Amino acid sequence: MKKTWPAYPYIFWMVIFTVVPLSLLLYFSLTTRTAAGATTFSWEHFGRFFEPIYLKVLFRSLLLAGISTLFCLVLGYPAAFILADRKLNHKNTLVLLMVLPMWMNFLLRTYAWLTLLERKGLINTLLGHIGLPPLNLLYNDFAVTLGMVYNFLPFMVLPIYSVLSKIDHSLIEAAEDLGADPTYTFRKVVFPLSLPGVVSGITMVFMPAVTTFVISRLLGGGQYTLIGNLIEQQFLTVGDWNFGSAISVVMMLIILVGMGFTSRYEKGQEGGGLW
Amino acid sequence: MKKVLGILFVLAISISALLLGGCGAPKKELNVYNWGDYIDESVLRDFEKKYQIKVNYDTFTTNEDMYVKIKAGGSHYDVLVPSDYMIKRMIDEGMLEKLDFAKIPNYRYIGAAFKNLGYDPRNEYSIPYMWGTVGILYNKTMVTGQPDSWKILWDKKYAKQILMLDSQRDSIGITLKMLGYSLNSKDPAELEQAKKALIEQKPLVLAYVVDEVKDKMISGEAALAVVWSGDAVYCQRENNDLGYFIPKEGSNLWFDALVIPKGSQHKKEAELFLNYLCETGIAYRNADYIGYASPHTGAVKKLPRDLTSDRSFYPLPEDLKNSEVFVDLGSRMKDFDRIWTEVKSQ
């Protein structure tokens, strides 16, 4: 394909802000500084990542992100399905309401959960008024998962909604004409056609969920070192940029594999994702 | 045509000079990089007015953030406020400018106890700004008796009512102190013991926090918290039920000091600013606003007696005999990080 001139600023941008930083990351992850101050090639940082304590952190990040993604899917699919219903009134307003929270600062919304969940927070105060004992809502798996589901849910709803609302309605009518009941139609027609949306929703929730470090710090009370916290620590506290880069490179590989998986599903399909 | 362009050019220059410089002379500037919420902001405005110098003021959250930014270059700060161990590291790496004390006569007000300290033994690079300790803030209505030891943070009675500092250096440091070791320990066996203790403590900890600690303690979310002394002053002003003490095993004694980084473009203005901060009235306003202990003898005299006579906040030498100043760990920071990751991934 022939490149045209409008692409040049983009290429320039890509080189400066993507290729150069990525190369630096790769360079740091593969080198080490000897006692004499010389820089040499080394695999040691990657080796270190595969030690049990870091694998444990990785596993926990994947698990929490996986659970959150599952909840997002369970909650998000029906929501998208309702939104995509052709008979729904005020559809645009409802979609807007879904997107609206995303306009507000992410940190602010997470802090709001603190106020709700605290021991002397809103929920416990209400429970106290009706004579129930206070609950420990904050600083546990529940709070972290809740924070992730809350923050990432729109990323699940929107792609599924966009695919569902584009499904050719005559296919559904055809299924009904051939005697399929609604459940059967859904299983055999609607759901398979919505899969590209589901897959891209899963990717869009899972990836930020794996690397989040703010939610785990605020709602998990810093008790949950996730992979994002680990990377942040290496760069800011320890000053071990080599190891930090190595973790980032591993995470990028995981994400690339995920993307490869996604693109296989999306081949030939149209408009599944938001990218 | 050329003439028109020339006139336009001159016009453009004079307009921008008018807009930028006020009355034409290039306005002087000063770039300050300080901790968040660590100065009475009206002091900055008064300085600008008095000397006609524009102050560009930025803030950081940790010494390491600040260090990375300065080390990476490209930032043009003229005044920084690092802590003791970081000052030592920056001196060793040749990152700081020597101060010309002839231009900072107000330095004479700094107490003798704050001169010739380990991080700057010959007093060449830094002027102490604030100092303090790390201790325990506790809620008197929730804690029984008069606690005096770090051990209370391991008391099962207070399960899920303890807030720890989300800072590797501080949390591991106080654990070493609790065990009776130095908080700068290099001994692998001692560090191993500290790790075990922290893992054992983890089920009792409600959360590991930094800045949120103030809100949590004021609202009574937790009974005990590890805090810096200045935060304790702030919390006590807001909630009378709170008490603060420096545990008997000793603690971390720290200093934040004013320095000028190498390559500062406005060294003259920076020294003027340092001298200004050491004026008694100004040092008092800052100390009163921030709440940490001031090394400035004049400021201390002006502060309320009940604060400066409180040995929790202005400890006497004998209160500090077990306390230590952090030493830069260098590459051993990795061991601390490993311990912390192991504790947190339990």
Q: What is the pLDDT along chain A (275 residues), one digit of tens a residue?
A: 556 778 888 888 888 998 999 999 999 999 887 766 678 888 888 998 998 889 999 999 999 999 999 999 999 999 998 888 877 778 888 888 888 888 888 888 888 898 898 888 889 889 989 988 888 888 888 999 999 999 999 999 999 999 998 888 888 889 888 988 888 888 888 888 888 899 889 988 998 898 888 888 889 888 878 898 899 888 877 878 899 999 999 988 888 887 787 777 655 454 444 44
A138: chain B residues, CB-CB within 8 Å: 207
* Distance (Å, whole) CA A42 – CA A149: 39
Burial class, A264, CB count within 10 angstroms (exposed 0-12 / middle 13-18 / buried 19+): exposed
* Distance (Å, whole) CA B257 – CA B112: 15
- Put simply, the answer to whether A236 touches B344 (Cβ < 8 Å) is no
- In the predicted model, is pLDDT for residue B216 greater than 60? yes
- In the predicted model, is pLDDT for residue B8 greater than 60? no
CA distance A23 to chain B (A): 17
pLDDT digits (tens, 9 = 90+) for B78-97: 999 999 999 999 999 999 99
Which residues, other chains included, contact A155 with Cβ-Cβ below 8 Å and sequence gap of 6+? A72, A201, A204, A205, A208
pLDDT at B57: 95
- Put simply, the answer to whether A237 touches B341 (Cβ < 8 Å) is no
Helix (H, G, I), strand (E, B) or coil at B187: coil
Q: Which of A60, A117, A119, A232 to mutate to test the interface with B (most CBs of B within 10 A)?
A: A119
Burial class, B8, CB count within 10 angstroms (exposed 0-12 / middle 13-18 / buried 19+): exposed
Q: Are B226 and B136 in contact (CB under 8 A)?
A: yes
* Distance (Å, whole) CA B297 – CA B108: 9
Helix (H, G, I), strand (E, B) or coil at B275: helix
Instruction: Report the mean per-residue pLDDT for chain B.
Output: 88
pLDDT at B127: 95
Q: Are B92 and B260 in contact (CB under 8 A)?
A: no
- Put simply, the answer to whether B207 touches A221 (Cβ < 8 Å) is yes
Do B132-253+320-345 and B29-131+254-314 fall under one CATH topology? Answer: yes
Find the CB nearest B206 among A139, A230, A235.
A139
Amino acid in position A22: L
* Distance (Å, whole) CA A219 – CA B146: 32
Range of the structural domain that residue A168 is part of = 42-264
How many C-beta atoms lie closer than 10 Å to residue B16's C-beta?
Answer: 10
pLDDT digits (tens, 9 = 90+) for A241-261: 899 999 999 988 888 887 787
- Put simply, the answer to whether B341 touches A225 (Cβ < 8 Å) is yes
Q: Model-level pTM?
A: 0.79
CATH for A48: 1.10.3720.10
B333: chain A residues, CB-CB within 8 Å: 237-240
DSSP tag of A238: I
The answer as to whether A253 is a domain residue is: yes
Which H or E run includes B35? strand B28-35
Q: Where are the domains of chain B?
A: 29-131+254-314, 132-253+320-345
Find the CB nearest A222 among B209, B334, B342.
B209
Which residues, other chains included, contact B155 with Cβ-Cβ below 8 Å and sequence gap of 6+? B204
Find the CB nearest B334 among A54, A138, A240.
A240
B159: chain A residues, CB-CB within 8 Å: none
pLDDT at A4: 76
Q: Are A99 and A93 in contact (CB under 8 A)?
A: no
Question: Half-sphere exposure of A44 toward its Cβ, with a 13 Å CA cutoff?
Answer: 9
Backbone angles phi, psi at B227, to 5 degrees: -140, 165
The answer as to whether A12 is a domain residue is: no
pLDDT at B103: 93
A233: chain B residues, CB-CB within 8 Å: 168, 337, 340-341
> CA-based angle A251:A257:A258, to the nearest 5?
90
B328: chain A residues, CB-CB within 8 Å: none
How many domains would you assign to chain A? Answer: 1
Which residues, other chains included, contact B105 with Cβ-Cβ below 8 Å and sequence gap of 6+? B275
The answer as to whether A244 is a domain residue is: yes
pLDDT at A160: 93
Q: Are A216 and A226 in contact (CB under 8 A)?
A: yes
pLDDT at B253: 92
Give residue A216's region: left, alpha or beta (phi > 0; psi -120 to 50).
alpha
The answer as to whether A252 is a domain residue is: yes
The answer as to whether A29 is a domain residue is: no
B289 is in an annotated binding site: no
| Chain A nearest-CA residue for B342 | A53
The answer as to whether A6 is a domain residue is: no
CA distance A255 to chain B (A): 23
- Residue in the block written with tokens 């710090």: A217
Look at residues B308, B257, B262, B24 and name the one whose alpha carbon lies nearest to residue B129.
B257
Give the A-side interface with B, CB within 8 Å. 53-54, 56-57, 60, 114, 118-120, 136, 138-139, 217-218, 221-225, 229-230, 233-240
Enumerate the H helices of chain A as residue ranges. Answer: 7-14, 20-30, 44-49, 52-84, 91-99, 106-117, 122-129, 141-164, 169-177, 182-185, 191-211, 214-218, 227-233, 241-266
CA distance A65 to chain B (A): 16
A238: chain B residues, CB-CB within 8 Å: 333-334, 336-337
B64: chain A residues, CB-CB within 8 Å: 236-237, 239
Q: Which range is least confidently modeled, A183-187, B219-223, B282-286? A: A183-187
The CATH classification number of B132-253+320-345 equals: 3.40.190.10
pLDDT digits (tens, 9 = 90+) for A67-98: 999 999 999 999 998 888 877 778 888 888 88
Confidence bin at B222 (pLDDT 50/70/90): very high
- Put simply, the answer to whether A225 touches B166 (Cβ < 8 Å) is no
Q: For B145-279, where are the E strands, in sequence order?
A: 162-165, 205-209, 224-228, 242-245, 253-258
* Distance (Å, whole) CA A206 – CA A208: 6
pLDDT at B299: 93
Confidence bin at B9 (pLDDT 50/70/90): low
CA distance A139 to chain B (A): 7
- Put simply, the answer to whether A223 touches B62 (Cβ < 8 Å) is no
- In the predicted model, is pLDDT for residue B240 greater than 50? yes
Specify the fold of B29-131+254-314: D-Maltodextrin-Binding Protein; domain 2 (3.40.190)
Look at residues A77, A82, A97, A71 and name the one whose alpha carbon lies nearest to residue A160.
A77
The answer as to whether A3 is a domain residue is: no
A224: chain B residues, CB-CB within 8 Å: 344
